[in-house]
Structure 1
Amino acid sequence: MKVLVVDDDKLVCVSLKTILEAEKDITVVGIGHNGKDAIELYESLKPDILLMDIRMETMTGLEAGEVILKSDKNAKILFLTTFSDDEYIIKALQMGAKGYIIKQNFESIVPSLRAVHMGQSVFGEDIVTKIPTLINNSNKADFSSFSITDKELDIITNVAEGLSNKEIASRLYLSEGTVRNSITTILEKLNLRDRTQLAIFYYKNK
């Protein structure tokens, strides 16, 4: 997989490049040091994953991530930061980042990159448990106004609880294929990108 590394600490960039390229399936195609670098390098290098810090001079990682995802909704952005600030977490979730991991958990970086490359979202357990309380629940919505059926709402609820398609199928007595197809339909109805955004939508509107 091709990875673009963006961090304002040059030593961190060099260390990450060394660690990542020790893996046979990972190539660091570029290194940047601020949000503007991230945007320019992402456009020119088309990496599989952008591994990016959040707090950087000139332009933050969050600002760069928003720009990149507007031009490429399929961009896979994994934030790597020393900060677990609630505000940063919620912004990363809402914009559609594929992951948010803490630099101190260095051993999780390579597994997280592989998971994101496979289409999964990666948020540490300590971050996932914060989601319900981080999201403002003041804006309630009638799910039926989005043409969401009762069965689809059951599926949404289980997605928000972090269950896999297989687990949801078992709980609701459905086939795994039905669950997968239903989630695709739900995402289209709600104009959402992935399961993470679906969970956020649920917690904001339940």
Structure 2
Amino acid sequence: MEQDSVNRNTIKVLLVDDQPLLRMGFKLILEGEEDLHVVGEASNGREALEAVGRLDPDVVLMDVRMPIMNGIAATEGISASRSEARVIILTTFDLDEYAFAGLQAGASAFLLKDVAPAELVQAVRLVASGDAVVAPRVTQRLLENFVRNRPPRPTPHPDPLLGELTPRELEVAQCIAQGHSNAEIAHELFLSEATVKTHVRRILTKLHLRDRVQVVVYAYETGLVIPSNPDY
């Protein structure tokens, strides 16, 4: 199922799931797009790590519950490696702990397995381009649970890295943490989308973060974003 000849502009995808039929379904969806190519498949996290090192995919669609090594551990392994592959966690479980575990392990996105084909394709493209996505219907619960169960640790001084951000970059970071798109940030801050993208790149560099989803996690962990409603 693995092919050696792939167009340079094609997004290479690795499918990781212990259910062959599910992998087949995802492959049929993705291979129907000219710019997407499934370079390989794996049935557990250990196979996924080996395949990432051998196939160098751009995006990994990663199941959570698998034998031998689960998707969270595999995602941690990919994040700790030299691979540039970005991980999309796919799960049938609409439970916050899976989303948090995946994102904190370094995943770039969290989607449910019943995602619509068009949304799945768009998510792969967004993640490959450096933009991350979280399923809209779980985004709010994700942040609510994070704030409720993982409050920012009290520290006498803010994270030193925040001092590297300009006032405008802090504003953009806060907008990212609230789930706003580049277009929404541009509208809110009266900036062009190109300027917003530049700010996002600088924020990621200064905070040593992989993508904008990691900005969300960082913002709530450090208290950069604090809910105004105590019952939030």
What band does the TM-score fall into relative to the shorter chain?
Answer: 0.7 to 0.9
Give the TM-score normalised by structure 2. 0.78
The 5 Å alignment of 1:32-43 reads 32-43=42-53
Matched-pair contact (CA < 8 Å) for 2:131–2:212: no
The equivalent position to 1:45 in structure 2, one of 55, 68, 85, is 55
Q: Answer yes or no: is the 8 Å Cα contact 1:121–1:196 preserved in 2.
A: yes
Q: Give the match's secondary structure for 1:129.
A: helix
Distance 1:120 1:99 in 2: 9
Of 105, 108, 131 in structure 1, the residue corresponding to residue 142 of structure 2 is: 131
1:145 aligns with: 160
Q: Indicate if the aligned counterparts of 1:165 and 1:176 stay in contact, CA closer than 8 A.
A: yes
Number of positions where the alignment pairs a residue of Structure 1 with one of Structure 2? 206
Equivalent position amino acid for 1:145 in 2: P
Structure 1 residue runs of 5 or longer lacking an equivalent are none
Structure 1 residue 12 corresponds to structure 2 residue 27: no
Output the CA distance in 1 between the equivalents of 2:123 and 2:111. Answer: 8
What RMSD in Å do the two structures reach over aligned CA positions? 2.2
Letter in 1 for 2:160: S
CA positional deviation for 1:79: 1.6
Identical pairs, percent: 38
Aligned to 2:230: none
Counterparts of 2:128 and 2:198, CA distance in 1: 21
More off after superposition, 20-29 vs 83-92:
20-29
Deviation at 1:23, TM superposition (A): 2.6
Distance 1:113 1:144, change over 3 A: closer
Q: How does 1:1-206 map to 2 (within 5 A)?
A: 1-72=11-82, 74-107=84-117, 108-135=119-146, 136-140=150-154, 142-143=157-158, 145-146=160-161, 147=163, 148-206=165-223
1:121 Cα offset (Å):
0.9
- State the distance in 2 between where 1:19 and 1:167 align: 29
